[in-house]
């Protein structure tokens, strides 16, 4: 799995924030549009796209999109 694709998939869960505002280093909880509903959509996106389940704790322990990418990547490799 590619970090670039993960950032893209992550960004697609937002309606109002422009895709250009997302990078691997984005601290996603600082985005104005971030909400519990977006968090739910991120969990659903990871399940759909990577076939692994992440928990709210995985999101809570991540600061940047890359942090979450690394968690998902570890689960994919298991």
Cα–Cα distance for residue pair 65/30, rounded to 1 Å: 12
Q: Does residue number 39 form part of the binding site for another protein (CB under 8 A)?
A: no
Distances from the Cα of 74 to the Cα of 1, 33, 42, 48, 52, angstroms: 11, 28, 17, 17, 10
Q: Residue 45 CB, nearest distance to another protein (Å)?
A: 7
Chain positions 52 to 71 lying near another protein, rule: CB under 8 A, are none
Residue closer to another protein (CB basis): 9 or 62 = 9
Q: Which residues make up the interface to another protein (CB under 8 A)? A: 12-13, 15, 37, 40-41, 44-45, 47-48, 51
């Amino acid at each position: 799995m590619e970090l670039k694709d993960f950032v893209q998939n992550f960004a697609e869960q937002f309606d109002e924030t422009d895709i250009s505002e997302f990078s691997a280093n984005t601290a996603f909880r600082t985005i104005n549009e971030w909400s519990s509903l977006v968090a739910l959509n991120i969990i659903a996106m990871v399940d759909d796209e990577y076939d692994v389940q992440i928990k709210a704790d995985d999101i809570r322990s991540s600061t940047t999109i890359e942090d979450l990418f690394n968690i998902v990547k570890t689960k994919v490799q298991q």
